[in-house]
Amino acid sequence: MNLHEEYWANLEQGEFKIRRCNQCSKWQFPAMTRCQHCLGEDLSWQKPSGRGQVWSWIKVHKPYFKDYADEVPYLVAMIKLEEGPLMISSLTDVKVPVVKCGTPVSMVIKKGRGGKPMPYFQMPSGPA
Amino acid sequence: MTSWTARDKVAVIGVGTTSFGDLYKTRDKFRSDYDLAAEAFKVAVADAGIDRAEIDGLLTARVPSYQHMADILGMRRPKLSYGFEQAGRMSALAVQAAINAIATGHCETVALVYGNNGRSVGAQYGGGEPTTPTGQYDAAYGMTSAGAYVGLMYERYRQLNNVPDDGLAAVSINNRNHAKLNPNAVMHDDLDASIYMESRFVAEPLRLYDYCLINDGGVALILTSVERAKKLGKPVIAFSGTAACGDLTNFYTSDDYYYESCKSVADRVYQQAGTKPRDIDVAQIYDNFTPTILFSLEGFGFCNRGEAHRWVRDGRIGLGGELPVNTSGGHTSESYMQGWAMHVEAVRQLRGECGARQVKDAEIAQYICAAPVSSSHILRRIA
Ligand SMILES: [Zn+2]
């Protein structure tokens, strides 16, 4: 398995893991063979806290992907993980018309298109 | 700071463009990007008024093979020949490569040619096969296209700076107003605030009129030494400064809207040219999506951070304003030629060839691109 396959295989096992350098402790996303900070090659898959913030979000209206044609408009968010890396994901339980940048969110694994388990980020419950 | 030694040593002596408006009207699956580039090249050689045999360097962009391009143009043994990838950020970088080659004596006269048949072959930016490491992850969420990544930046910029809903309308309408004065532009229809606000969202907060116009077309530039340019008896348009800086991460999105990289370019390019933002008579600002105009104006010091959306209002960036921006109509209303046609517009403005859209007495022009590699040139009419 290559690193990308390992990432998805972990999710199949119900675990959201990203790579962390065993030498300098920095996290990375997406998975690479080498640490960007110290260039070390000794990295391992570890579970981040699952906490993060909404860095920003958009609502996609154009059906770029055939698979998503019946879902437009849909939300895409850029999440800043507590550990540092940014990642693209989507939000669940959105009850507000405008998601504030900086809103704290927590990771949940849900099935995406085609039934593949993927990390999503949950909006805080209760009044925003 | 290292000093740049090519100030006012290299000039643009020839520019060429194909039609943009006419090409937009029809799609033709047999229309060749190489042929469009060749057509623009022919126009540029005639514009320069030199013998084609004097050209001893060839740089290509977007067309897949520089070798095939050279063969088509009959350039058998150029001293400089290679191609650049198709990203729009490469236009200024290719021009820098030509400037450096001429200034250091690798060759004397370089042709840069760009050909694009994207509209005819149905080029899509978004929805295709992922090309970056994050691409496959992002696509799983329906995330794709540079526009969506710029949309993420603009949404954050909008929220953090309390920008009203119509924060991009002024730049989009400004492009259109200029396009209406440009016979070769694709779009001549009126665009006002209500038409803008009622247009459909693509990647909200970005609307249809915030997006570039994918089109077919060709652009060519011919550069040579200022020394040689002075013998040709035409206005001499020289590069007084040029610089670039990357902001290279996994994403098109930059978490400071390219501010630090633009600032790095600005510091160097203004110092090289001995100019300040207020000295610029006309600016061509890369706008694959309209937010990049705001990011550029802030990064290059025309206004304070977070204030560009106010600064661009009330005619300041229109003809007769403090800083006319995108006088040809830009990528959203002239044609998306990935920065190349903006280089041509800068030269034509400095030569005074722009007719109804001419900026009066333009002597200093700036090209700016805010992108994963940000870049800028300052061009000046020196003779
Ligand atoms: Zn490390």
Q: What is the mean pLDDT of chain B?
A: 95
- Over residues B272-294, the pLDDT tens digits come to 999 999 999 999 999 999 999 99
Q: Shortest Cα distance from B250 to chain A (angstroms)? A: 8
Number of domains, chain B:
1
Indicate the range of A112-121, B105-114, B361-370 predicted with least confidence: A112-121
Please check whether residue B368 lies inside any domain of the structure: yes
Token pair of B318 as six digits: 């229109």
CB-CB neighbors (< 8 A) of B207 in chain A: none
Whether B131 has a pLDDT exceeding 80, the answer reads no
Q: In the prediction, which pLDDT does A128 show?
A: 46
Which distant-in-sequence residues (6+ apart) come within 8 Å of B33 by Cβ?
B62, B63, B115, B116, B117, B216, B218
Interface list for B 183-242 with A (CB within 8 A): 200-206
What average pLDDT does the segment A65-87 reach? 90
ipTM of the modeled complex: 0.95
Say if the Cβ atoms of B253 and A78 lie within 8 Å: yes
Q: In the prediction, which pLDDT does B144 show?
A: 81
Please check whether residue B135 lies inside any domain of the structure: no
Q: In the prediction, which pLDDT does A67 show?
A: 73
3-class SS at B174?
Answer: helix
Please check whether residue B25 lies inside any domain of the structure: yes
What average pLDDT does the segment B52-64 reach? 97
Q: Categorize the per-residue pLDDT at B130 as very low, low, confident or very high, splitting at 50, 70 and 90.
A: low
Q: Which residue has the higher pLDDT, B360 or A114?
A: B360
- Over residues B319-362, the pLDDT tens digits come to 999 999 999 999 999 999 999 999 999 999 999 999 999 999 99
- What is the side-by-side strand order in the sheet with B373-381? B80-84, B57-61, B109-117, B216-225, B10-17, B237-246, B373-381, B364-369, B282-285
Q: Minimal CA–CA distance to B213: which of B202, B225, B227, B228?
A: B202
Q: Which residue has the higher pLDDT, B125 or A3?
A: A3
CB-CB neighbors (< 8 A) of B160 in chain A: 101
Say if the Cβ atoms of A60 and B203 lie within 8 Å: yes
Please check whether residue B19 lies inside any domain of the structure: yes
Whether B1 has a pLDDT exceeding 70, the answer reads no
Whether A126 has a pLDDT exceeding 80, the answer reads no
Q: Categorize the per-residue pLDDT at B125 as very low, low, confident or very high, splitting at 50, 70 and 90.
A: low
**Does the CB of B140 have a partner CB in chain A at under 8 Å?**
yes
Distance CA B124, CA B39 (A): 24
Q: Minimal CA–CA distance to B297: which of B273, B272, B324?
A: B324
Q: In which domain, by residue range, is B52 found? A: 10-122+213-382
Say if the Cβ atoms of A56 and B152 lie within 8 Å: yes
Q: Shortest Cα distance from B35 to chain A (angstroms)? A: 30
- Over residues B246-259, the pLDDT tens digits come to 999 989 999 999 99
Whether B175 has a pLDDT exceeding 50, the answer reads yes
CB-CB neighbors (< 8 A) of B126 in chain A: 62, 64
The CATH number of the domain where B60 resides is what? 3.40.47.10
Distance CA B164, CA B193 (A): 13
Q: Categorize the per-residue pLDDT at A1 as very low, low, confident or very high, splitting at 50, 70 and 90.
A: confident
What average pLDDT does the segment B224-236 reach? 97
CB-CB neighbors (< 8 A) of A118 in chain B: 140-141
- Over residues B135-168, the pLDDT tens digits come to 888 989 999 889 999 999 999 999 999 999 999 9
Say if the Cβ atoms of B255 and A86 lie within 8 Å: yes
Provide the number of CB pairs (under 8 Å) joining chain A to chain B.
95
What average pLDDT does the segment A81-110 reach? 96
A101 to chain B: closest CA residue: B156
Distance CA B354, CA B358 (A): 5
